[in-house]
Structure 1
Amino acid sequence: MSTTTPQPTSSPLRSFPTSGFEVLDPSVPVEEETLPTYSAEKYYPVHIGEVLGDRYQVVAKIGFGVTSTVWLGRDISTSQYAVLKVYVTGRERNHEIEVYERIEATQTDHLGKSCIRKLLGHFSIDGPHGRHVCLVHEPLGLSLYEYLFFLPGRIMEFESMKACLRQVIATLDWLHTEAGVIHTDLQLKNLLLPGSPTYLSRAETVEMNSPTPRKVLDDGRRTIHTSQIVVPGNGLPLLSDMGECRFVSTEKQFDEIMPNAYRAPEVILHMGWDEKVDIWNVAMLAWDIVSSRCLFQGWNADDIFADRVHVAEMVALLGPPPRDFVERSKVGHVFWDENNTWKDLAPIPDITLESLGAKFKEEERDKQGFYRFLRKALQWKPEDRPTARELINDEWLLEGLGIPKRDEVQ
């Protein structure tokens, strides 16, 4: 994949307001400052209106995270919009670029490849405290997480959820079998809906006419801008954020992966893992789309996320793990005794999928199909979980499409 290179300017730069916005209290953390690992020196001090990479004029802030801030930019050579992901310092060798290079190099007619957010290029910026890698992505809209806030109860109906899942699972099938990539971080925030050109232009207009609030620090050398919401267009979400991906290997991997509540059993128990962690996450994702309560809570009485509480909830929903599975783990004896009996490190809650889903409004037959689908993916043993290709042929998932069950994804 080639890097982004400067192009002749064919669109004039625009002058953004330097006053007329709400100046926020410097003592109150906002945006990336609220993150527990935040360090001002690690973040590039982006200013709206500046040009990055000799090509992209920053027109709005649209997001932030532990490793980067995200901006809407206008390509001054084409007047087209792009999304700029500006990484913190210390990431000169950017793994996400390596993943995208693998994806780009994989030739295929599998539709799953088209369901991944495109990387348009990349370049580096020298900041006051080091070098920053900047990825240039196609502009998209809201994440599925943000979109749910606009729905009653912050949940989707089953039929809409099924459509999203079919696309996600088809994408995983291509990633696992052809690209040799494991995502490891499937969650609502990493599924982005298509963007609307009208609303991209509107985001720039807002900054021109009614600039967003911000904090001005260090005598104007550093500004913490607040983010705009970019409204989505029509369509199914694309898989994004490939920074936590791993490559499929013939050997088990042992990296610490996945957000706490989404970790598969083999990750919690420090076993080797493979692409089946993504199948576990499909079930977690499906639940999050139709329920405002995360499937696994994991918090103890002191509001600290605890593995023993998390595993106790797994026992409640999945039943006790097979003995040979526990014996694979170097820490299995911490949770179960030699007879494979739970050591009562935390109480096993009185919950089932059915009790947690009691408020679902769908017909009972549809709910039972959903629970069966979840139980296929929520298996203690990774080898007992279906592949993505097998899971997409689930009868409940295909129900309503008017097509027979197929043996493979086309």
Structure 2
Amino acid sequence: MAPRDASPPRLLPYADPEEIYPEDVRLEEETFLWYDLDNWYPVTIGQVFESRYQVLLKLGFGSASTSWLCRDLREHVYVTLKVFAVGNSQAATEEKVLRHLESVKSDHPGAKLVRLLKNTFKIAGQNGSHLCLVLETLGISLADIREMAGGRVPPTLLKGLVQGVLLGLDYLHTVANIIHTDIQDGNIMLSIKDTDILDALVEDEWDMPSARKIIKDRVIYASTGLEIPDEPGDPVIADFGDARIDEGPFEFEEEVMPDVYRAPEIVLGVPWNEKIDIWALGLLIWDLLEGKLLFKTRLRDPTASRAAHFARMISLLGPPPEDLLERGSAWKTLFDEDGRLILDVEVSETSLEEEEGMLEGDEKAGFLAFLRKMLQWRSEDRLTARNLMEDPWLRGTAA
């Protein structure tokens, strides 16, 4: 069969936007303190990039980029265009990691649970060039699911999602040698099984164009949200802007991870490896099931915030092993020579059993046993993603 000719670009809608905000209203990416209008590319709906990708609507934004649903006019499929701000280190990192993943040839089933790169290009902007990544289009994130579910994800649904995430992590850690470093609910998204939902989203945008504001030479658009489909797809690990390629044999030492998800080795300045992703996944599972963060103290003073975070770890896990403290470069900022916390922070008497409030009986015991396989002081004591997939609570075989 001969290939189809490229489709012509779609004509812009004639309908008035849902709302036009005044210039003094900060919208979406404008709300970041570091936002500089000239460093962000002014993407417009209807625009065609590379004579191929037509922008149909805005899907979202992040700390360094905006994301757009596009139609690939040559391949006749939907893609997502991620356009980075000028001079952001995440852009080069994500491109490097995604190209590395593209080069890995494997039949590991987890390879399908990692977001794919389709193309890259650069466009000239006011202050330099903008990296653009063409990615497969994904659906809602785990953050969206939690919000739509009233703040908590039901255990049955959560178990299926976690099994998929673990399979993806096993592929990243054992085959692709990638450490994600930023496992959280916004970076795990569901695949789309039926693109009819995207067709409907585009038609809605054309019937009632999304809210926006007009400032100088550009339009700032409000994002268009997806809904939970009748047949949800598989969880896919996305956003590799903070990831590391583990080229060994040495471990990493720089500070990574969101503050509230930081593993003990990050707090203590201990060299780290892929097991920080396992720690973060444990916290994410707790957050999704319980509807609240296990660690949430963030103070203006970084040292005080580190001490409070560490005190909370002691409350939940007990005293840290001495050999772990001795491996760290930052422990002297937390403890005196007698092993007491230097800063006046509370080490409350509590436990995971006391704070877990959604489950009962054997289900609760199984869940906490599963969690403890991830939330361990020493990274070497945490189970691998592959071993965690065999957990009785996760597989529904707990006694």
Counterparts of 1:120-159 in structure 2, within 5 Å, are 120-151=118-149, 153-159=150-156
**The 10-residue stretch of structure 1 (194-203 or 369-378) with the greater mean CA deviation from structure 2:** 194-203
Contact (CA 8 Å) 2:9, 2:48: kept in 1 or not?
A: no
Do residues 332 (structure 1) and 328 (structure 2) align? no
Q: CA deviation at 1:330?
A: 2.1
What is the match of residue 281 of structure 2? Answer: 282
Offset of residue 170 of structure 1: 1.5
Partner residue in 2 for 1:162: 159
Indicate if the aligned counterparts of 2:67 and 2:83 stay in contact, CA closer than 8 A.
Answer: yes
Report the alpha carbon displacement of residue 164 of structure 1 after superposing the two structures with TM: 1.1
Q: Which of the numbers 177, 193, 196 marks the counterpart of 1:180?
A: 177
AA of the residue aligned to 2:351:
T
Tell me, yes or no, if the aligned pair for 1:53 and 1:124 is still in contact at 8 Å: no
Kindly report which structure 2 residues correspond to 1:216-365, keeping only aligned pairs within 5 A, or say none: 216-218=214-216, 221-233=217-229, 234-248=232-246, 249-300=248-299, 306-343=305-342, 345-358=344-357, 360=358, 362-365=359-362
C-alpha distance 136-305 of structure 1, shift in aligned 2 (>3 A): farther
Residues 11 and 78, structure 1, Cα contact 8 Å, conserved in 2 = no
Cα distance in 1, alignment partners of residues 97 and 257 from structure 2: 17
The SS at the match of 1:141 is coil
What is the CA distance between 1:255 and its match in structure 2?
A: 2.1
Q: In the TM superposition, what is the alpha-carbon distance from 1:401 to its structure 2 partner?
A: 9.8
Q: Which of 364, 367, 382 is equivalent to 1:367? A: 364
Aligned partners of 2:278 and 2:374 also within 8 Å = yes
> Cα–Cα, structure 1 residues 142 and 305, in superposed 2: closer, same or farther, change >3 Å?
farther
SS of match in other structure, 1:142: coil
Structure 1 stretches of 4+ with a deviation exceeding 6 A read: 301-305
Tell me which residue corresponds to 1:405: none
Aligned AA (1:270): G
Report whether the alignment pairs 1:103 with 2:101: yes
Return the TM-score normalized by structure 1. Answer: 0.90
Give the superposition deviation at 1:398. Answer: 2.2
Q: Deviations over 1:334-361 (max 9, x none)?
A: 2223333334531112332122212x0x
Deviations 1:48-93 (A, max 9, x none): 1111222111110010011100001111223321111001112597
Aligned to 1:408: none
> Of 30, 42, 47, which aligns to 1:33?
30
* Residue 385 of structure 2 corresponds to residue 388 of structure 1: yes
Gaps of 5+ in 1: 1-6, 403-410
Give the match for residue 3 of structure 1. none
- Quote the residue 1:4 is aligned against: none
Give the conservation status (yes or no) of the 8 Å contact 2:15–2:206: no
Structure 1 position 222, deviation (Å): 1.1
- Are residues 401 and 86 of structure 1, via their aligned partners in 2, closer, same or farther at CA, if it must alter by over 3 Å? farther
Q: Secondary structure at the match of 1:117?
A: coil
- Give the residue type in structure 2 aligned to 1:253: F
State the number of aligned residues.
Answer: 391
Whether the aligned pair in 1 keeps the contact of 2:118 and 2:134 (CA below 8 Å) is: yes
CA shift in 2, pair 1:25/1:302, >3 Å: farther
* Inter-partner Cα distance in structure 2 for 1:321 and 1:20: 57
SS in 2 for 1:306: helix
Q: What secondary structure, in the 3-state scheme, does the structure 1 residue paired with 2:124 have?
A: strand
Aligned to 1:11: 8
Letter of the structure 1 residue corresponding to residue 252 of structure 2: Q
CA contact (8 A) 1:182 1:278 kept: yes
CA distance, structure 2, for counterparts of residue 351 and residue 17 of structure 1:
60
SS in 2 for 1:242: coil
